[in-house]
Structures are given as C-alpha cells and as structure tokens.
Amino acid sequence: MKALNLSTLLPSPQALTVATLPSPTPSSTQYLISIRASACNFFDLLQIRGKYQHQPTLPWVAGSEFSGVVLSCPPGGKYPVGSRVFGASQGAFATRVCADEAALRPVPDGWGFKDAAGLFVTAPTSYAALVTRAQVRAGEWVLVHAGAGGVGLAAIQIAKALGARVVASASTVEKRDVCTRFGADATVDYSDDGWVKVVMAITGGKGVDVVYDPVGLVEKSLSACNWNARVLVVGFAGGKIENMRTNRVLLKNVSIVGIHWGMYAKKEPETVQTTWDGIFKLVKEGKFKGTVFDGEPFKGLKEVGRALEWLEGRKTWGKVVVEIDDEDVGGEKARL
C-alpha cells in the first residue's frame, strides 16, 4: 500500500512523504478497509510534531479519519466485503487501514466518500454536546463559536434541526457567509471587541441560552448569556485554557458543561449508539449535510501535507478532506 509513514517526528506537514509499505494485516476482530478519502484534523498536526496526548511508537502512519470500502471482515462482522463505511483508526493517511467494528459506521445513502470521511468526529461531538449535555429546546438562542469549522457547521445544523435559533461567530466575511449557508440565523465577528453587544442586540437584549465553544471564549461569552444559560466547553482551538471569574456564573444561574466525546465509548457506550441513531435520522430527513471544504481540491496522498498546511493557516472552512486517487491505489478503485 501507499502511506504517509513517519520514522521520526516532523516540524512541518510539508515534510510528509509518500512511502510504499506492506498492506496491514487485520487482527481476528478487525476489518481491512480500502481508503477512498481521508480527513485532516488539527490533532494530526499535533501528532506529527509529537505534541498530541496519544503518540504511537515510531514508526507509524499518520492520519485518523477516513471513508472507504471493506476488503475483509471478521467472522460475524456487521459490514460484509464491499460495504461502504467511514470511521477512525490510526493510519488513515494511506490507501489501506485496519479498524475495529466500533470505529466504523455505514456511509449514509446518497453520500459520497468525500463527505462521509469528515463525519466521524465532528457530527457526534456536536450532537452529544447540544442534545445530551445542553438539552437544547426549540425556540432557544444558540451561539456557535467558530461556526465555519467542522464541529461548528455540524452544531449549526443540529441546533436548527432542534428548532433553535443560531448566532454563529466567525472571523471573516467568507466564513460568516458559510455559516449562513448552513443555516445560521445571524452571524458575528468574534475578532471584533464589540461582538457581545451585537449578540445582545440580535437576541433582543436577553442573551443566548446556549453557548457552543470550541475556541476558548467562555469568559467573554458569559456577558452574552441569558438567565439559566448553558455554556458548552468543547475545545481550545484558540490555544488558551481559560481561568474565569465565576461571579457571572452565579449571577446569571449559568451552567458550565464539558463535552468529551472521545470518552463516551469507555464511560457511557450506550450514548454512542443513541447519538449515531440521532445523527442518521437527521441525515435521512435532509436536516444534516456534509461539511467538506470545497474551496480547493486536495487529491492524492501527496496533497495531505498541503491540506494540513491550509488547515493550520486557517485558509479553510468545514472539514478538509483529501481524496485518494488512482495514482495511489493503481487499479484497486476500479476493481471494487
């Protein structure tokens, strides 16, 4: 197979090179997948630099999220050979990968591999945050920070499907337009110091009922909260972990709520299935669509470094996905 194999940590994604390796051998409980598209994430950048909390032992193949076709399945497996699946497993910047059944889901009817490749991380994170943790209700105002990001666009769609009204924040006109295209009722520029006043005006002076924050804007967002608001701590893409004054939490009766989707499989596995059931229901009803960035094509494993560089430089929106091309796999795509 072809893969982006690391024998040493790298300072830049552009240092990634395509290597030819033996095809991986699945264990007795694993699937072997022919990858058709691989999604790029910020944690991929951290991992190739040795700065992520989960670091494989060198050498290893980079990447995690993918979509593709099942080449082999374990006895009694849910997905027979030829099934179209998406999921996550270490080594997704390659033409083949091994994965456990729990890390796979079927590609939704009518979806292509490209959109499906960007679904496994973002959609359940946002669904569990808004439905399970914040329990968003129809008619509420939801503020989605970094609304044009992968989890942000997922959150906008899910909040709208729940009957909420959405204010999305983003730093450029183009990204705010993307938020509107995916259903946001209003947008604000969170790089503008006056964004809180704008949110208060949009909500008629009451403030928002739910804040979805993958950036690290909790403290300032408290000034834009309504009574009994819930603030979701989703991540720290801004690079800063906040220390906040808690008097505003008390005065507005605000709940600060964490969401760590990756731990649900270990701590609360029953919620994983109900979350995916909810997502697939929205997809079937036409209320959730793919969020893949379409402003620049990234085709072939040789393009992964450039795609990651665009992601790091914040030149993109939504999910950045690289399509595996014929040069990578020879005639395998045509045979399956």
For residue 59, cis peptide bond before it (omega within 30 degrees of 0): yes
Residue 237: pLDDT band by 50, 70, 90 thresholds? confident
Residue 240: pLDDT band by 50, 70, 90 thresholds? confident
Residue 334: pLDDT band by 50, 70, 90 thresholds? low
* pLDDT at site 331: 59
pLDDT in tens, 6-48: 999 999 999 999 999 999 999 999 999 999 999 999 999 999 9
Q: How many CB atoms lie within 10 A of CB 78?
A: 14
* pLDDT at site 144: 98
Q: How far apart are CA 119 and CA 116, in angstroms?
A: 5
Residue 243: pLDDT band by 50, 70, 90 thresholds? confident
pLDDT in tens, 104-120: 999 999 999 999 999 99
Q: How far apart are CA 186 and CA 122, in angstroms?
A: 22
pLDDT in tens, 66-92: 999 999 999 999 999 999 999 999 999
The larger pLDDT score, comparing residue 107 to residue 330, is at 107
Q: Which residues pair with 66 in a beta bridge?
A: 38, 87
User: Mean pLDDT, to the nearest integer, of 54-74?
Assistant: 96
The answer to whether residue 239 scores a pLDDT higher than 80 is no
Task: For the chain, give the secondary structure using H, E and C.
Answer: CEEEEECCCCCCHHHCCEEECCCCCCCCCEEEEEEEEEEECHHHHHHHCCCCCCCCCCCEECCCEEEEEEEECCCCCCCCCCCEEEEECCCCCECEEEEEHHHEEECCCCCCHHHHHCCCCHHHHHHHHHHHHCCCCCCCEEEECCCCEHHHHHHHHHHHHCCCEEEEECCCHHHHHHHHHCCCCEEECCCCCCHHHHHHHHCCCCCEEEEEECCCCHHHHHHHEEEEEEEEECCCCCCCCCCCCCHHHHHCCCEEEECCHHHHHHHCHHHHHHHHHHHHHHHHCCCCCCCECCCCCCECHHHHHHHHHHHHCCCCCEEEEEECCHHHHCCHHHHC
CATH number of 122-263: 3.40.50.720
Share above pLDDT 70 across residues of the chain, in percent, rounded to a whole number: 98
Does domain 2-119+291-335 match CATH 3.20.19.10?
no
* pLDDT at site 117: 98
* pLDDT at site 326: 76
* pLDDT at site 16: 95
Task: Return mean pLDDT, the chain.
Answer: 95
Q: What is the pTM of this model?
A: 0.93
User: Mean pLDDT, to the nearest integer, of 236-246?
Assistant: 82
The answer to whether residue 335 scores a pLDDT higher than 90 is no
* pLDDT at site 332: 60
The answer to whether residue 327 scores a pLDDT higher than 90 is no
Tokens matching residue 44? 């991929």
User: Mean pLDDT, to the nearest integer, of 128-154?
Assistant: 97
Residue 277: pLDDT band by 50, 70, 90 thresholds? very high
Residue 333: pLDDT band by 50, 70, 90 thresholds? low
Q: Where are the domains of the chain?
A: 2-119+291-335, 122-263
The answer to whether residue 285 scores a pLDDT higher than 70 is yes
pLDDT in tens, 166-198: 999 999 999 999 999 999 999 999 999 999 999
